[in-house]
Amino acid sequence: MGFRLPVIRRVSSFSASQVASKSVELPKGYLAVYVGENQKRFVIPISYLNQPSFQDLLSQAEEEFGYDHPMGGLTIPCSEHVFQRITSHLNGL
């Protein structure tokens, strides 16, 4: 008997045409966020939204962008390194 842990996915796992069109279908239970100076797209499990460390990131996003996100999706105002550190910790939960 096994189980699957949620993982973040970088857009590079999708084809270039899907990324360019921004019409990438997300797996059920996941959402896309844009992170860092270059606005790299990550696909994360929605279960992260309940975690206090991720809620801190959401509060920062609200303070910086309000509800007007320049990429049309959820923009997280932190570096990719910080985001990956936080989400790797969440993967271990």
pLDDT at 8: 53
pLDDT digits (tens, 9 = 90+) for 4-14: 545 555 544 44
pLDDT digits (tens, 9 = 90+) for 20-46: 345 568 889 999 999 998 989 999 999
Buried b (16+ CB within 10 A) or exposed e, 59-93: eebeeeeeeeeeeeebbbbbebeebbebbeebeee
